[in-house]
A and B are shown apart, each in its own frame.
Chain A
């Protein structure tokens, strides 16, 4: 050792230090190995890890509100939810434009469903409002069209808004609306639509230009029509009314349609303002409810902690998170129950599996094989069949109760209730998960040399001492491996508790399944799933600290 330090680093044949050249060779080897498993690794990443990550990401994702009602959300920022009053006219006007576009794209009901998870009644509020939002301000549109027929003319509108072929164009506005529609519908709104808003007209009538641009994009991309051949939406005309009523100075404008615009402005000057708030309240008085507005405001950021709060029986209150009303608290209790019952199931699996595994590893080969088949046979049988079999066994008119009554141990009226409760779940799941405990135990026990126990005996140990002091410690890694397997399987179990669990024997996974497939509240399901995953990881970590994961052997 000291020799090498005296003579400097050892060199490889090509003169580079041996250490470096070895490292390089090692790295190359590792890369080659990685290259070999790369297809598998990519496959697992793409088809397994990525979807799970995507699903779990839904527990915080909440872009639907700001994508569907961008203007409303912006206007609502300054509203004080504690004031007890509904927001002002500006919010309702923004809501009109947002709601109009959303209902054309049929996205408003999706948002209604989303917000209904937080506030009962929003679903039908959005559904009914989407249906009648185009009636708002129809008197103004009629007045406009009575004044001059050009306001019903699609090509007049087209020329007005595009400002003619040679006019300077406002491409920025077009791109803005493209992005907005793309995020609203999650479709691609790219490509040439045969329309770009004119610069002059969009400076003069900003709201109208915006509304017409989204109309144009929608007409071309979603409906596959030609802009110049379609009459604009009511919302475009309402935007024009609003722009003109705000006192736009048209005196400097000499482009296309200047006279028509001036005449319209003169006519509208005599009319009262459009009452958006009143119109919405007329449509549905729930638009006055501050609770609904508060919900929209609270859930307007693109990310939310709402789902996680819900998953731990809390909710977003006026002053931050608060506990849910007692008659809605359920998840914490279910998490506790899931953990407790999984532990009980793991415990009963250990108790039942240990003697079986011991027999398996100590019996002569021929008998052991037979026993092994008996262990594996139920393992190969369908899960549903085994669960249903337990139903037949345990129910009140079932095999066990019938036998007990026949033996006279119970009378007919006092049949035992052994299913549709915790007991049923524990029995059925212990049976179903037993092989996962027996197999790792067996593979560990079969490597324990019988000579150790014999040696202990010959040195005077009793049967018990030789087992407890010599055999048992060597079998602990098997118990550890089996316990981890059974516990992790049990904690996420779903179908057996669903069938035999009744109301007191169901797990958190049953609620997750409910939210995935029935209530469609995927955000809440993802939050519950994330918490479950975190709990398992923490328990695994704790197990590693206490027992040491190196002590776990699968064979």
Chain B
């Protein structure tokens, strides 16, 4: 009798505590992401379980990540930020942080530690770029090629420089319509050592050298601006090889069964993750932080890899990566971070591009338009 009473009392207390806790949080949350398969992976791995834990919570998705920086800036100027958690690439997170539009994050306070007790800061390690960015996945920009268009007698391309070798590998290539990545690849294939690429690219001569190298294949390039372009061009046989995000190529190869293969050489690692807009009202901020704490823990990040072939940003999540939820294939070999794929990689240099982006872009666009 006494025990039951105590139990009931403590249950009541817990319920009271939980509900008091929940009352401080907004019961609606607007998340911003990229749409498509990527957003689907987030719904499955993050928001569905989170909504099960928090009954009555409404989650609104806005597929605006591509213009997140511009829109957030406009919202901030209008004094009405309607977003709670925004998915952006690390470079954009850095810019939002620079503009004072994103909230600064203390990893050890706002993020969950790893199951073995490692602090969040150590678990994410170098991937915590800037002060506002909460990493989620590692993706890479890399090449895919049509296996049926490899010329007879030639080996399948396995070297980044085959992009520039139109004699051995004739056919069009698709490259992104911006200098980032293309300039680095051009220099690599023009004899510049990997660890000197950014030093060279910081000089006028180095920029010209990269453009000159790109000039050798200019007539063979179709320039893309949306991530879906290259998979489409590959599927249509419009191009022999093209760069895009590795997850897009995964879906062309495994889900759509096209005769396309990956070329992982000199893949450029980049990060994608969350930011929380600065100056949110208290209840919405509490909700956003609660969600972030949940959605970036070790298990949740590993769960996302069941749905899309991007590597989880936590070191502790890697061993938990299993099989694709629908195709039932092992996901590890499709991760950009898999040792077999990551023999020769490049990490997007955020600081460099934050400085040189405007300048090199002007030159790149002028070169393109010539």
Contacts and interface: CB of A to CB of B under 8 A. Distances in A.
Answer yes or no: are A and B bound together in one complex.
Answer: yes
A418 B139 CA distance: 34
Q: Is the interface of B mostly helix, strand, loop or mixed?
A: helix
A334 interface: yes
A553 interface: no
A369 interface: no
A329 interface: yes
Nearest to B233: A395
A521 B73 CA distance: 12
14 contacts: A107-B100, A109-B100, A112-B98, A113-B95, A116-B355, A127-B98, A327-B363, A327-B367, A328-B366, A330-B369, A511-B365, A518-B70, A519-B358, A520-B95
Given A110-B99, A110-B100, A498-B225, A503 B238 contact: no
Interface string B174-188: 000100000000000
A502 interface: yes
A284 to B, nearest CB: 12
A417 B223 CA distance: 14
A315 to B, nearest CB: 11
Nearest to B130: A127
Contact of A517 (B67, B351, B363): B67
A498 B95 CA distance: 25
B129 interface: no
A328 B99 CA distance: 26
A155 interface: no
Given A109-B97, A127-B354, A502-B223, 17 more contacts: A106-B100, A110-B99, A112-B98, A113-B98, A116-B355, A120-B359, A121-B355, A328-B366, A330-B362, A330-B369, A396-B172, A498-B225, A517-B67, A517-B70, A519-B361, A520-B70, A520-B73
A120 B355 contact: yes
B156 interface: no
Interface string A516-544: 11111100000000000000000000000
Contacts of B95: 113, 520
B237 interface: yes
A124 interface: yes
Interface in A415-455: 420
Nearest 6 A-B pairs (CB), nearest first?
Answer: A109-B98, A120-B359, A517-B70, A330-B366, A503-B368, A106-B100
A290 interface: no
A28 B66 CA distance: 53
A124 B351 CA distance: 7
Interface in B63-81: 66-67, 69-70, 73
A504 B366 contact: no
A121 B202 CA distance: 10
Contacts of A519: 357-358, 361
Contacts of B208: 327
Contact of A521 (B225, B358, B365, B367): B358
Interface in B234-255: 236-238
Interface string B340-370: 0000000000010011111101110111110
A117 interface: yes
B2 to A, nearest CB: 47
B161 interface: no
Given A113-B98, A327-B367, A124 B354 contact: yes
Contacts of A41: none
Contacts of A330: 362, 365-366, 369
A116 B359 CA distance: 9
B355 A327 contact: no
B105 interface: no
Interface string B212-231: 00000000001101000000
Interface of B: 66-67, 69-70, 73, 95, 97-100, 172, 177, 208, 222-223, 225, 236-238, 351, 354-359, 361-363, 365-369
Contacts of B69: 517, 520
A333 B67 CA distance: 27
Contacts of A113: 95, 98-99
A498 B369 CA distance: 13
B98 A123 contact: yes
Contacts of B368: 503
Kindly name the residue among B100, B238, B355 whose own CB sees the greatest number of chain A CB atoms within 10 A.
B355
Contacts of A328: 362-363, 366
A329 B357 contact: no
Contacts of B66: 517
Given A330-B369, A504-B369, A396 B238 contact: yes
Interface in A45-83: none
Contacts of B355: 116, 120-124
A51 to B, nearest CB: 10
A463 interface: no
A397 interface: yes
A113 B236 CA distance: 41
Contact of A395 (B236, B358, B369): B236
Contacts of A498: 225
A252 B249 CA distance: 79
A117 B359 CA distance: 7
A110 B98 contact: yes
Nearest to A313: B366
A506 B370 CA distance: 12
B238 A397 contact: yes
Contact of B222 (A420, A511, A518): A420
B223 A503 contact: yes
A516 B369 contact: no
Contacts of B369: 330, 333-334, 503-504, 506
Contacts of B354: 116, 123-124, 127
A328 B97 CA distance: 29
A502 B98 contact: no
Nearest to B174: A420
A120 B99 contact: no
Contacts of B366: 327-330
Contacts of A502: 222-223
A397 B237 contact: yes
Given A116-B358, A502-B223, A519-B358, A397 B98 contact: no
A334 B369 CA distance: 9
Interface string A80-121: 000000000000000000000000001101101100110011
A542 B246 CA distance: 53
B131 to A, nearest CB: 9
A327 B208 CA distance: 9
Contacts of B238: 395-397
A112 B355 CA distance: 9
A438 to B, nearest CB: 31
Contacts of A123: 98, 354-355
A358 B98 CA distance: 59
A517 B71 CA distance: 8
A122 B351 CA distance: 11
A474 B104 CA distance: 68
A372 B366 CA distance: 44
A112 B366 CA distance: 24
A120 B98 contact: no
Contacts of B361: 519
B167 to A, nearest CB: 15
B12 to A, nearest CB: 35
Nearest to B77: A186
Interface string A391-421: 0000111100000000000000000000010
A506 B223 CA distance: 12
Contacts of A395: 236, 238
A334 B236 CA distance: 31
Kindly name the residue among B222, B351, B358 whose own CB sees the greatest number of chain A CB atoms within 10 A.
B358
A107 B99 CA distance: 7
A109 B99 contact: yes
Contacts of B351: 124
